[in-house]
Amino acid sequence: MPKKSNTANMKELTREQLENRKAQAVRFTRNVLDDDDRADEIEDESLEDYAERRHITITNPKGVMRMATPTRRELLERIEELENENADLESRLDEIAGIVGEEDDDEGSEEEEDEPLGEE
C-alpha cells in the first residue's frame, strides 16, 4: 500500500491566521490549563516551528511578497524618464570627453616644445 504524503493531510493557513492561532494556543495554555511554562514555550517558538509541529502549511511564507504590477501607462512614463536621464548623462559624458580631449591636445603640444632638438 503506497504511503500518503504528509502535506496532503496538512491544514493550510495564512501567516496572519497562524499567528492568531498561536496566540490563542498561548492564552488557552496559560489561562485554561494554567501552565505558564508551556505557554512561554509556545510563545517563544518560531511561527515556522509551530506550524510544522501542528502539521500546518503556511500559504504565504515569510519573504514572499507580491509586488504591485505597474500599469502600461506607468511603465511608459518610466521608460520616458529613463530615456531622458540617459540622454542627459550621455551629453554630460560628451562634455567630459571634450574637456579631456582638449587637455590631451594641450599637453601634446607642450611636450613637443620641451623635447630637445637632436644633438650632434
In a domain, 77, yes or no: yes
Q: Is residue 97 domain-shared with residue 76, that is, in the same domain?
A: yes
> Does residue 83 share a domain with residue 41?
no
The total number of structural domains in the chain stands at 2
Reading the block at residue 75, the C-alpha cell is 511603465
Q: What is the pLDDT of residues 25-35, one digit of tens each?
A: 999 999 999 99
Domain hosting residue 101, numbered range? 70-112
Per-residue confidence (pLDDT) for residue 52, from 0 to 100? 92
The model's confidence at residue 2, banded by pLDDT at 50, 70 and 90, is: very low
Secondary structure of 53-88 in the HEC alphabet? HCCEEECCCCCCCCCCCCCHHHHHHHHHHHHHHHHH
14, three cell numbers: 495564512
- Do residues 79 and 107 share a domain? yes
pTM: 0.45
Please give the pLDDT value at position 87.
97
- Displacement of CA 113 from its chain's centroid (Å): 58
CA dihedral 59, 17, 56, 22 (to 10 degrees): 140
